[in-house]
């Protein structure tokens, strides 16, 4: 199924359960190879990137199986750090195996990881940080070779709060001899989830949830039974889907505690968000009121992964808003498709656009160019008059378990083809 067809104009109503977090599940699955004992990772989303990661783990010698609501992984037979090209191509998250495999095997051979084209996202910071811990790198024939005679702890001061670099350091540090300190660590909930899983396995990590992490390395890790938290980006997507259609929905299991900046933005635009133990009740208005500006920032700021969806909502709001992207330089690839649907968006430079709300959008044949931009086009299609057909939906399925099913449960006229 590579396309999604939507007949817009339906107000979303009802209840939808939020899937497990993609951005938490992938590094946790990578971390499962650090112990020879089996782990059960529950609430993993059944999405393309998770299946790719499981295929990659299987190719390395792991025993992998779905059991009830979880994935059982036993990495007792891993003996090689050579990762096949076909399992890595197009999956940026495979990069987190760099720290994990170095910690487990002392060496890694891998292709340059891929993923969505939303910015250059160089891996220099990852290589530099692991180099501080005794890892030597070489590049030859388009492949990256990493080797560590003995991993050792280090004091690492990150110049930017990189989620991926923080995760890679954590995965190597729990296996290294001595203590590692990460100053300027990313504070995202996905990093916290990885720390919690490693702690369940027996790792000693202090400062979880802060920008200063201390890892006491060298402890023998055991298997663990761990539940992946709900996906804050999926919850935000469906919240914005409610807003763009003027609907009323209940986001079951939505992680409200991780969504402060998103909820504040929604409420500033006239949406009422009521928190409950089981999730979030969302009651929106026919046309949202646009704030003067929004800016993406590392957590706890407004997430870059929801910027495209917020932009889609703003296209039909009242007023105008400056949208500033401070994380990735190619997050505005969705602008032209939204313009084709009738949106009034002016590109000021590579990091800023000005959106002026219009009363209506029109359905079009369009194409998803990356994961989050594709989800934004789905939201625009929910509001647009007529039919919207989106090609290239393989990108969308990398992050959403079944976006068409979920939106149909809320009344949308949408099918995957």
pTM: 0.95
According to the model, what pLDDT value does residue 87 have?
A: 56
Q: Which fold has domain 26-227?
A: UDP-n-acetylglucosamine1-carboxyvinyl-transferase; Chain (3.65.10)
Contacts of 74 (CB under 8 A, 6+ apart): 36, 37, 38, 39, 62, 63, 223
pLDDT higher at 81 or 198: 198
pLDDT tens-digit readout, 350-401? 999 999 999 999 999 999 999 999 999 999 999 999 999 999 999 999 999 9
Token pair recorded at residue 365 = 């044949």
Question: Strand order of the sheet with strand 212-216?
Answer: 155-157, 179-183, 212-216, 204-206
What DSSP state is assigned to residue 229? P
Q: What residue spans in the chain does CATH classification 3.65.10.10 cover?
A: 4-18+230-416, 26-227
User: In terms of Cα–Cα distance, which of 17, 2, 6, 1 is closest to 412?
Assistant: 6
Tell me the helices (H) and strands (E) count for the chain, helix number first: 14, 23
Mean pLDDT confidence for 206-225: 97
- The string of DSSP codes covering 263-302 is HHHHHHTT-EEEEETTEEEEE--SSPBPPSEEEB-STTSB
* CATH fourth-level superfamily of 4-18+230-416: Enolpyruvate transferase domain (3.65.10.10)
Q: Residue 90 — pLDDT band, cuts 50, 70, 90?
A: low
Q: Residue 140 — pLDDT band, cuts 50, 70, 90?
A: confident
User: 116 an active-site residue?
Assistant: yes
Q: Is the pLDDT of residue 85 over 80?
A: no
Whether the Cβ atoms of residue 379 and residue 316 lie closer than 8 Å to each other: no
Q: Residue 113 — pLDDT band, cuts 50, 70, 90?
A: low
| Calpha distance 45→396 (Å, rounded) | 13
Q: Residue 331 — pLDDT band, cuts 50, 70, 90?
A: confident
Mean pLDDT, rounded, of the chain: 94
According to the model, what pLDDT value does residue 375 have?
A: 98
Query: Which of 62, 116, 242, 321 does the annotation list as catalytic?
Result: 116
Whether the Cβ atoms of residue 264 and residue 81 lie closer than 8 Å to each other: no
| Calpha distance 14→156 (Å, rounded) | 47
pLDDT higher at 47 or 120: 47
| Polymer length of the chain | 417
E strand spans, 107-195? 107-111, 136-140, 143-147, 155-157, 179-183
| Calpha distance 284→318 (Å, rounded) | 14
Helix H or strand E encompassing 4: strand 4-7
Q: Which backbone phi and psi does 282 adopt, to 5 degrees?
A: -120, 125
């Amino acid at each position: 199924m590579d396309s999604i067809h939507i007949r817009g104009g339906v107000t979303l109503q009802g209840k939808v359960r939020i899937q497990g977090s993609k951005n938490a599940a992938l590094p946790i699955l990578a971390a499962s190879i650090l112990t020879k004992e089996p782990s059960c990772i529950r609430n993993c989303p059944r999405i393309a990137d998770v299946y790719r990661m499981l295929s990659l783990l299987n190719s390395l010698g792991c025993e992998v199986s779905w059991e009830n609501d979880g994935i059982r992984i036993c990495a007792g037979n891993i003996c090689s750090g050579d990762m096949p090209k076909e399992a890595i191509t197009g999956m940026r998250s495979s990069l987190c195996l760099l720290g994990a495999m170095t910690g487990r095997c002392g060496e890694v051979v891998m292709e340059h990881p891929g993923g969505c084209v939303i910015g250059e996202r160089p891996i220099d910071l990852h290589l530099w940080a692991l180099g501080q811990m005794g890892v030597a790198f070489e590049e030859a024939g388009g492949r990256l070779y990493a080797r560590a005679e003995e991993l050792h702890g280090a004091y690492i001061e990150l110049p930017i709060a990189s989620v991926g670099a923080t995760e890679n350091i954590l995965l190597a540090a729990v296996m290294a001899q001595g203590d590692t300190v990460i100053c300027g660590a990313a504070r995202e909930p996905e990093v916290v989830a990885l720390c919690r899983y490693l702690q369940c396995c027996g790792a000693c990590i202090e400062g979880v949830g802060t920008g200063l992490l201390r890892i006491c390395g060298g402890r023998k890790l055991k298997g663990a039974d761990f539940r992946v938290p709900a996906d804050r980006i999926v919850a935000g997507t469906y919240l914005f889907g409610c807003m763009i259609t003027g609907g009323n929905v209940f986001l079951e299991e939505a992680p409200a505690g991780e969504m402060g900046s998103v909820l504040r933005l929604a409420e500033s635009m006239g949406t009422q968000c009521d928190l409950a133990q089981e999730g979030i009740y969302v009651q929106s208005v026919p046309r949202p009121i646009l704030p003067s500006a929004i800016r993406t920032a590392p957590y706890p700021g407004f997430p870059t992964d929801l910027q495209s969806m917020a932009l889609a909502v703003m296209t039909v709001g009242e007023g105008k808003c400056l949208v500033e992207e401070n994380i990735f330089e190619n997050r505005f690839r969705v602008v032209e498709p939204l313009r084709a649907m009738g949106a009034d968006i002016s590109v000021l430079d590579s990091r800023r656009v000005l959106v002026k709300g219009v009363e209506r959008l029109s359905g079009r044949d369009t194409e998803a160019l990356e994961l989050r931009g594709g989800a934004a086009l789905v939201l625009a299609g929910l509001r647009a008059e007529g039919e919207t057909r989106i090609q290239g939906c393989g990108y969308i399925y990398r992050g959403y378990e079944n976006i068409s099913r979920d939106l149909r449960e809320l009344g949308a006229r949408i099918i995957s083809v």
